[in-house]
Amino acid sequence: MKIREILSFDALKGVRVVAGADHLERDIRWVHVIDLPVSHLLHWVQPGQFLLTTGIAWPREEEQLRSLIRSLAEQKLACVGMAIPQFFENFPESACDEANKVALPLLEIPWDIPFAYVTESVHRAILKEQYQIIEQSEAIHNALTRAAVEANSLQELAVTLGKLIKRSITFEDAEGHVLADNALEKEEDAIRRATRAAGQSPPDFLAHLESLGYLSKLRTMSGPTHIPALPQFDLAGRVVCPIRLKDELIGFVWIIEGERPLSELDIRAAQHAAIIAVLHIARQRELASFEARLGYTFLSSLLEGR
């Protein structure tokens, strides 16, 4: 659930964003009400939380306020909401200035809006969104499983996945050669177009990912990861998941970000696709092995006159 989305809720009517307005696409994992002394506050907050406070225990001195805002940003909070006016007339200018520097959205909440109303509304929306993601993820998994049984190639799997999540998809081997892809041309960036034209990812792009540590990370992990946009390469964001058969790295599934931001559903889809691709590749290897054994037996029979 994005910060920008909750601002349209009735429970947050009249709320003002006074800092960090450029970072409202941040996800909120949960809402937490804390009015502890500052010395204890940081032990109670976690990444992704929407922190609600009356400000009763917040410092009034400018440098202490700035230090608190920096510390909250380091905890990777989604945002902070303060009920005003009571203990603070508004968020102090120094707090807003520091929050803009560290990209921490600050929200001023009218005093007459109960925190219980805010937490109930946001939590209900978060749980509803999670339920929808699980339902969609299950549907994608079932569709891919059926495709794995019926498909004759990875290309059919790529097309099926692309239609399900409406994104450009690429299956590549461990060296970056394209094994299959599904194209949505209006959502393709320069690297994606170059990859499709050459049949493999551009070497300079792979070298840059190596220098950033992404490729070494992908070679050792089994789950998906998000690669943010790289403007110097005209590269949109991506979700990539390794395809592994036991300890062997076979390749990668790439899901390309288009007009819609990548979401948790895309991460789950990449993981499902990697599992189904492993099953398909393992089956193809087994068939190839069987055909090789059958051909060898047939040749031996001919040589022996049987």
More confident residue, 299 or 31: 31
| pLDDT, tens digit, 9 for 90 and up, residues 71-86 | 999 999 999 999 999 9
Cis bond upstream, residue 85 (ω within 30): yes
* Cα–Cα dist 263/2, whole Å: 11
pLDDT (0 to 100) of residue 265: 87
Contact yes or no for 218/264 (Cβ under 8 A): no
HSE of 125, CA atoms in CB hemisphere, 13 A = 21
Structure tokens at 301: 């029979």
Tokens of 42: 């940081």
What pLDDT does 279 receive?
81
pLDDT of residue 58: 93
Q: Could you tell me what percent of the chain has a pLDDT over 90?
A: 41
Of 122, 95, 98, nearest in space to 15 by CA: 122
Nearest-angstrom CA–CA distance, 246 and 69: 46
Residue that wins the pLDDT comparison between 212 and 66: 66
Strands in 79-84's sheet, in edge-to-edge order, are 16-19, 106-110, 79-84, 49-53, 30-33
Neighbours of 193 (CB within 10 A): 13
Q: pLDDT band for position 187 (50/70/90)?
A: low
What is the pLDDT, as a whole number, of residue 217? 86
Digit-coded pLDDT (tens) for 202-251: 888 888 888 888 888 888 888 888 888 888 778 888 899 999 888 888 88
Q: pLDDT tens across 70-129, in order? A: 999 999 999 999 999 999 999 999 999 999 999 999 999 999 999 999 999 999 999 998
Between 30-39, 139-148, 167-176, 269-278, the lowest mean confidence (pLDDT) is in 139-148
Helices 264-303, 115-150: inter-axial angle, 10-degree rounding: 20
pLDDT of residue 162: 87
Higher per-residue pLDDT: 153 or 284: 153
